[in-house]
Structure 1
């Protein structure tokens, strides 16, 4: 037996073609994207990319090395070694430079030596483990091939392997659901069960606290009180109404929606000045900055109604059950609208539609188009809309020539507008008729810009004439790679300062004022609200 074929050598030997392929994908994984990543997380991503490239490179090298004459191999090995050293050094320098350029664009501090250590901690152990697993799989496959003996038997073995993989995927799917049910199924340990009659699960409520889930309980148990609103704004305030039905509150979306309407009746929500029908994100989350902002702006004379449709984060919910947010949003809005429409037109609250992320997708899908939305609601604010939302795509595609894709102008802003950063509300001086529809949209939000077309076609938002100031000038479109990069960016879309990514604390107060007005507050009070909202603790990624 040759040394190169010995089991011992096989475990530690690094295939030259695999190493080159791994290095290539490792470099691509570190190229600039929309958002920066924590060093440890980037190390994990680069390790997975290296392992994939290693497998592809190893397979390619099997064919190439047979074409290389034996006498030429020492020269190639020397050239390979030199190239490897140069490439590793270049990767280290480029990765840090690229990440720091992205971090600068989104107002984050540069990486330092500690971050480099974190990158290596995520990269080196995972690379070793993944390559070892790959070698083990190759050994198992060869053993099965020797035992099978015939092509028919080998085909049966491969079929069994594929079936095993499929079964594993199913187990993972159900496992993910079980994990997130454990995380999000019970009330938040820090949330306080309400006693107020103006909250679901409070005095006189038919909804149980235990059924609200983690995010529902945080919503119901949180938010400003009347005294806190008065202290901040200087205006006499009411206690805001918050109504929420958890996934366990009833079996169907329609039954949960009816519970919400009953709660709105019980709490007197139809006597308030503003009624917000909110569609949650995948796990049932309602972003505190946004829901608190409208309660401050309207001195608590508000009611917010929402219900849960899943336990899992938005990206998981969309993969497993993409119809759930749409069905939930439609059931809730239809039920609330039916009751609201029976009130006198001059004596009912403003009916406002709101959704963030997957909630924005569900909220938009309720309506057949912009006309239908404006005929049935008194206003709408969609925050960080996913790219696949049909209404968003229609409006984006019809934008006025010359307006950037990340901040469109449609029909001079007469019916719908987009705000990306503070001050944008003053860009269009012409009339904005009511009901107003508003999109809050950042140029660096991966939720908005991830689309299948990224795999094979460069996006408009990377064109020099369309590129926003906070998109790294070093970011370039690479087939397949850019789509993967932006997909990964989604996992940390909120782990950046407001003004960037999927974090909209900079513009939610302005957005609400544009769509639903306020309680006649002076500018000083509005500024205090904005300062309060921006001072909220950073939103943790992966939880929405």
Structure 2
């Protein structure tokens, strides 16, 4: 029973998912689920024995069977067990492991091929096995300690006069309690460690980042916001990006110094105060006199995707201003779990403050007003509006990248998409004002007009953050409706990935950790579509094909600093 359960859970853990996993991480998952299954076998066997004994006791009380002490004792001597049974079992086990292992390798290499990654080699297989066996040994030791506790409790109950059934029940209860204590303790310690780690990180400055010497940047000369108070990602944002000279060199046309304004979490006591500080900084830098003003919501820890902001600045020759502010030091998944409304509240405070000042400018003198957000930032910014009509009325353009599954109005638009359009590449009202893009050029594929203001969503079929929702636990999702050739899933989603109740949800959870570790155009990596995304959503930049290609080449060289945990 134990080995059967262990193999079953380890086998399920190795089934394909949306994105490939590093071999060490995959080995850890296999070892973890093997040991969970092994312990589950003990629990199932105990439950079966307890049920049988309960049925026997009931039958004895009703006189259906005799007590064991009255049963016949003249039983035939047991025949010695044949050695053939264990041998056959061992051969079958080896055959299963080898055969299933080969299948797992083929699955993983197919997933890797579909997202344009190299296949796993011999070193990868060795790393997988080492990681798996190390994990199994570690958890075997933990399980052994829990088993010793279970036995000690059971013996103590028996010495105290308790029945064998009571002793076993007490032992099992102590095991469950120990596991719960370990899990709760691990999660609590983990969250505390994450909190400490990210608070310390927020106080650091990334390597190669120094205080800006331009007055157009927060923390620079004349800034009302201190450099030290911007936070780690605020300092990277304020000091980063192209200069006017770099933009001019790439595009071959004159350019201004892009304005970048950012308020750190420590620079004001609440969102409204931080938003007011951002507006003051926009006034100081002359942001309301630029051609385009962008209000951007960062991820949980304050990170803004450098490709998206730089693309925007290159397209408009630096005649731009970008405003953002931090709302947390924690990574997005922590903010999402424990303070889900924080991103929305911060976005609403910032946009309303900027919009109020922008609306006070005569209409003919106003800059175009755009909004942007990535992941939790996309959910926060889009969620700060009352709906699609409000978003279209109050902005000139919006670009939302990789929104989580519960984002609005994204979720409603997906549900109301035009018939025959797939959920991973939806069409809403023939693309008249809202469109979706996975790879460059998708926005322009629809034949009808795209009226302004425009709203664009950057979305990949292999992005687990977009598809993770509770309904996947018990219902086959539309993005796994059938094989790719029949239009039942995105072209880069493996046909070998099948919906398994409960399991697919857990796959998405683990895939989130690896969603950035894939090439652009897949997973949660959108760097390659930022230029075309802004070029289509916010027309009027007057860049020709050669200039767009030159900008694209520069953007592809930007290192996003692997923000998987931001």
Please say whether Structure 1 and Structure 2 have the same fold, judged by a TM-score greater than 0.5: yes
Distance in 1, Cα, partners of 2:518 & 2:20: 8
Distance in 1, Cα, partners of 2:105 & 2:181: 42
Residue 542 (structure 1) aligned with residue 564 (structure 2):
yes
Q: Which residue of 2 aligns with 1:287?
A: 305
Q: Which residue of 2 aligns with 1:357?
A: 375
Residue 86 (structure 1) aligned with residue 95 (structure 2):
yes
- Aligned positions of 1:383-462 closer than 5 A: 383-462=401-480
Distance in 2, Cα, partners of 1:274 & 1:23: 58
The alpha-carbon deviation at position 72 of structure 1 amounts to: 6.8
Contact 1:253–1:331 at 8 Å: present in 2 too? yes
- Aligned positions of 1:177-326 closer than 5 A: 177-326=195-344
Number of corresponding residues: 527
> Which residue, 102, 105, 128 being the options, matches 2:111?
102
Distance in 2, Cα, partners of 1:513 & 1:455: 38
> Which residue, 114, 122, 137 being the options, matches 1:128?
137
The alpha-carbon deviation at position 206 of structure 1 amounts to: 1.9
The alpha-carbon deviation at position 88 of structure 1 amounts to: 1.4
> Which residue, 340, 346, 353 being the options, matches 1:328?
346
The alpha-carbon deviation at position 165 of structure 1 amounts to: 5.8
Q: Which residue of 2 aligns with 1:14?
A: none
SS, match of residue 304 in structure 1:
strand
SS, match of residue 346 in structure 1:
helix
**Structure 1 residues 199 and 411, CA gap change in structure 2 (3 angstroms):** same
The alpha-carbon deviation at position 121 of structure 1 amounts to: 2.2
Could you state the TM-score of these two structures normalised by the residue count of structure 1?
Answer: 0.91
Residue 118 (structure 1) aligned with residue 140 (structure 2):
no
The alpha-carbon deviation at position 238 of structure 1 amounts to: 0.3
Q: Which residue of 2 aligns with 1:377?
A: 395
Distance in 1, Cα, partners of 2:175 & 2:509: 31
Contact 2:513–2:565 at 8 Å: present in 1 too? no
Distance in 2, Cα, partners of 1:189 & 1:497: 24
Residue 471 (structure 1) aligned with residue 455 (structure 2):
no
RMSD between aligned residues = 2.4
- Aligned positions of 1:60-71 closer than 5 A: 60-62=44-46
Residue 58 (structure 1) aligned with residue 42 (structure 2):
yes
> Which residue, 15, 18, 33 being the options, matches 2:17?
33
For each residue in 1:452-499, what CA deviation from the matched residue of structure 2 results, as whole angstroms up to 9, or x when unmatched?
Answer: 111111111111233111111111111111111111111111111111
Q: Which residue of 1 aligns with 2:366?
A: 348
The alpha-carbon deviation at position 390 of structure 1 amounts to: 2.6
The alpha-carbon deviation at position 291 of structure 1 amounts to: 0.5
Could you state the TM-score of these two structures normalised by the residue count of structure 2?
Answer: 0.88
For each residue in 1:90-114, what CA deviation from the matched residue of structure 2 results, as whole angstroms up to 9, or x when unmatched?
Answer: 2321121110000111111111101
> Which residue, 501, 524, 528 being the options, matches 1:502?
524
Q: Mind listing any 5+ residue stretches in structure 1 that lack a counterpart? A: 1-16
Distance in 1, Cα, partners of 2:120 & 2:381: 39
Distance in 2, Cα, partners of 1:486 & 1:190: 35
For each residue in 1:264-323, what CA deviation from the matched residue of structure 2 results, as whole angstroms up to 9, or x when unmatched?
Answer: 111111111111110101111101111100000000001111111122221122112212
Q: Which residue of 1 aligns with 2:61?
A: none
Contact 1:223–1:288 at 8 Å: present in 2 too? yes
Residue 527 (structure 1) aligned with residue 545 (structure 2):
no
